[in-house]
Amino acid sequence: MIISKISRQKQIADRYNIFTVKHGREEFAFSVDEAILVKYQLQKGLELDSLLLSEIQFNDEIRKGYHLAVKYLAKVKRTEAEVGSYLKTKIEGEFIISEVIAKLMEMKFLDDEDYAFSYVRTQKNTTDKGPQVIKRELKEKGIAPQFIQAAINQLSYGDQVASAEKIAQKVIGSNKKESNRMLLQKLEQTLIRKGHSSDIIQEIKNNPDLMDETGDEMEMLRIQGEKAQRKYSKYTDYEFKQKMKQYLYRKGFAIEQIEIYLDELSE
């Protein structure tokens, strides 16, 4: 195969079309990146054997993958696994993708350790997520366990308590009509869902400043009791009391407090 003509592509400035003569007629053979053109000194009249042609096309696939990845990384920082998954939808060949990844790492476009540290800092400053949730998210992004743990170690005990306190204030503020038992249950569930450890949860539950923000238990019971009264007003005295007890007990109030409230109603 002898190169008969080389022309720059109109759509992509740094790619070139290579033409050869076949059966006395000039026709398009393949295209290459400008870096490949220079590396192999491709020019009119150069003869290409099958081995050299395979090498050129292999390296050109790596260049194409590299350009695709750089564009993909231009908008937002990504992990090695995310870039690998993206490239699998665009190009074929695991070895080519591995070469592209290696080149990106060499050029510092990919750095999973730095990504993990940066991600943890961002989550700490912008969210109320606990370490378990952040760990799970980093794992889902394909970050290696050693990088995850090193990055999570940035979160001091004080940082975690501060994050959990913000959650507690929101939960307490939006559940002031609940019984303390129900409120604490919701608080614990929320903190677990947000990724906080049992030690942090216990720290929050033992914080008198936060717990003082909860409402007066009997006052909360009366508020819930008024709702229950409207709901069960059609029942007879005995049935009414039983329904009220069941309802208020499910709401987290102690049976002793419920009895006091029902006595108040009877008077």
Whether 119 and 134 map to the same domain: the answer is: yes
68 found inside a domain = no
Same domain, 165 and 195: yes
What's the pTM value of the predicted model, to 2 decimals? 0.71
Residues 1 and 35 in one domain: yes
Q: For residue 182, give the CATH number of its domain.
A: 1.10.10.10
- Cβ atoms 147, 116 nearer than 8 A: yes
**Same-domain check for residues 146 and 169:** no
Q: How many domains does the structure of the chain reveal?
A: 4
Residue 99 lies in a domain: no
Q: What is the SS3 assignment for 191-232?
A: HHHCCCCHHHHHHHHCCHHHHCCCCCHHHHHHHHHHHHHHHH
Residue reference for tokens 């920082």: 77
Q: Is 85 inside any structural domain?
A: no
- Using DSSP, state whether 13 is helix, strand or coil: coil
Q: Is residue 180 part of a domain?
A: yes
Is there a contact between 145 and 206 (Cβ–Cβ < 8 Å)? no
- Say if residue 190 is in the same domain as residue 163: yes
Domain assignment of residue 73, yes or no: no
* Of 42, 124, 33, nearest in space to 70 by CA: 33
What is the 3-class SS of 146-184, one letter each residue? HHHHHHHCCCCHHHHHHHHHHHHHHHHHHCCCCCHHHHH
Residues 194 and 236 in one domain: no
Within-domain flag for 10: yes
How far is residue 34's CA from residue 195's CA, in Å, rounded to a whole number?
Answer: 50
234 and 198, same domain (yes or no):
no
**Residue 108, phi-psi category: left (phi > 0), alpha (psi -120 to 50), beta (remainder):** left
| Residuewise pLDDT in 10s, the chain (267 residues) | 898 999 998 887 788 999 998 888 898 999 999 999 998 899 999 999 989 999 999 999 999 999 999 999 998 999 999 999 999 999 888 999 999 999 999 999 999 999 999 999 999 999 999 999 999 999 999 999 999 999 999 999 999 999 999 999 889 888 877 777 888 889 999 999 999 999 999 999 888 776 655 557 777 788 888 888 888 888 888 888 888 888 888 888 888 888 888 888 876
Tally of CB atoms within 10 A around 220: 23
- Edge-first strand order for the sheet with 3-8 is 3-8, 15-22, 25-33
88 domain-assigned: no
Look at residue 60 and tell me if it is in a domain.
Answer: no
SS3 190: helix
48 near 56, Cβ under 8 Å? yes
* Residue 161 and residue 207 share a domain: yes
Structural domain span for residue 175? 157-211
CA gyration radius, the chain: 34
